[in-house]
Amino acid sequence: MDRDARMNRPFGLLAELTYRCPLACAYCSNPLELAAYNDEMSTAEWQRVFTEAAQMGVLQCHLSGGEPMLRRDLVDLVRTAAELGMYTNLVTSAIGLSRSRAEGLKEAGLDHVQISVQADEPVTSDRIAGIPSFERKLEAAAVVKDLGWPLTINVVLHRQNIDRVAEIIALVEELDADRIELANTQYYGWAWRNRTALLPSREQLAVAEEIVRAAREHLAGRMEVVHVLPDYYSEYPKPCMGGWAARQLTVAPNGDALPCPAAQTLPLPRASVREDSLERIWDGSPMFTAFRGTSWMKDPCRTCDRRELDFGGCRCQAFQLTGDAARTDPVCHLSPDHAIVAEVVEAANAGTRRDEEALVPRPHRG
């Protein structure tokens, strides 16, 4: 491998082991066509993918889903990734993370656990998750700390829980987490379907931002506070994944390789690890090369000073909102399509809106 190729290798693999899930979060970014992913890869296939990933320079392996705990071979998969020297991170709803399973994962070499929490109290949390799950999450968080793992709690923020952000932070502090991620919903998959009911108002956001800022100060040195703002309210788009096919890659349950989890929506030819090596897919498949770098850009991105900072924003969002994945992300205020986003934001701020509109739960499986 020449030096240039080596320096352009991905750092992280997001292994979406299954899209099955005991929860039914309406903000879930899993694809709408869950049934298309029922043909899950075997243990041996995943192990081959991990080996290829490590060989090409991947250093972090995020085991996610759906709910990865539903894979009976999870301990074996963790062991393989850990033996390959990758930093292993389990991204879980915590359902199924009993003490005995946790001990198995610890022994296999799992480095870090991230648990999602939907709200600070059972009624809202269970309503958003679709099943009673709040208490089990707290129990699992305690087990994680007890076994000596670093713990991240991830909370997806939206119109129906953002007003409780102070209480949410207090709960996470009580759980003694090392990191909290307060991530405003990104509108892919089921979250896209539920966008109107999920997008917060400007005022909700402003209040939350103040609370998070104060909490970050008060928790400094004890808990890292990561706050992901909603891009619909930003002037510029997010630098999605650090650039298209630049630092990360995703493998879906059926073996589809993607630059980001939302990329299955794009009209690009599929690339599957069942048919080709990860390295060849990364280097040469249209799925990965189509938007790499900046040469695919049109105006205004093509000549914009920020093109190496935000890479024109999110390709999946551009496609979703305009039907053309090569356009400027409409979130950007310089985008000729920005009115599409501005209208949605305006609607979210209309005085007549109720806060608890009905959510469409994602099904547990396709």
Partner 1 sequence: MPNDGAAADPAATPRPTPPAVPPSGHPALSRHVRMRFDRTRERYVLLGPESVIVLNPTGADILGLCDGQRTVSDVAAELQGRYDRVVDDEVATFLARLVANRCVEIDDGP
Q: Residue 87 — φ and ψ, nearest 5°?
A: -80, 120
**From 47, 88, 161, 328, residue interacting with ligand SF4 (rule: CB under 6 A):** 328
Judged by CB under 6 A, the stretch of 210-218, 246-254, 270-278, 300-308 that binds ligand SF4 is: 300-308
Angle at 178 between CA 246 and CA 244, to 5 degrees: 10
163 binds partner 1 (CB under 8 A): no
Q: Which two tokens stand for residue 228?
A: 């992901």
> Quick one: 278 or 301, whose CB is closer to ligand SF4?
301
| Binding map of ligand SF4 across residues 333-352, x = CB under 6 A, - = no contact | -x------------------
**From 18, 80, 93, 160, residue interacting with ligand SF4 (rule: CB under 6 A):** 93
> Quick one: 188 or 291, whose CB is closer to partner 1?
188
109 binds partner 1 (CB under 8 A): no
Contacted by 365, from ligand SF4, partner 1, none: CB < 5 to 8 Å by type: none
Which residues, including other chains, have CB under 8 Å from residue 80's CB and lie 6 or more apart? 46, 47, 50, 51
| Binding map of partner 1 across residues 181-210, x = CB under 8 A, - = no contact | x-xxxx-xx-x-------------------
Handedness of CA 227, 233, 236, 239 (dihedral sign): positive
Contacted by 328, from partner 1, ligand SF4, none: CB < 5 to 8 Å by type: ligand SF4
In the complex, least distance from residue 243 CB atom to ligand SF4, rounded to whole angstroms:
12
CB atoms within 10 A of CB 131: 16
**From 12, 230, 243, 312, residue interacting with ligand SF4 (rule: CB under 6 A):** 312
| Binding map of ligand SF4 across residues 110-139, x = CB under 6 A, - = no contact | ------x-----------------------
Contacted by 362, from ligand SF4, partner 1, none: CB < 5 to 8 Å by type: ligand SF4
**From 60, 310, 319, 341, residue interacting with ligand SF4 (rule: CB under 6 A):** 310
In the complex, least distance from residue 190 CB atom to ligand SF4, rounded to whole angstroms:
7
27 binds partner 1 (CB under 8 A): yes
Judged by CB under 8 A, the stretch of 41-49, 160-168, 203-211, 226-234 that binds partner 1 is: 226-234
91 binds partner 1 (CB under 8 A): yes
229 binds partner 1 (CB under 8 A): yes
Dihedral in degrees, nearest 10, Cα atoms 182, 188, 190, 191: 40
156 binds partner 1 (CB under 8 A): yes
218 binds partner 1 (CB under 8 A): no
In the complex, least distance from residue 309 CB atom to ligand SF4, rounded to whole angstroms:
7
Q: Using CB under 6 A as the criterion, which residues of the chain lie in contact with ligand SF4 when the complex forms?
A: 21, 23-25, 28, 30, 65-67, 93, 116, 236-237, 300-301, 304, 306-307, 310, 312-313, 328-329, 332, 334, 362
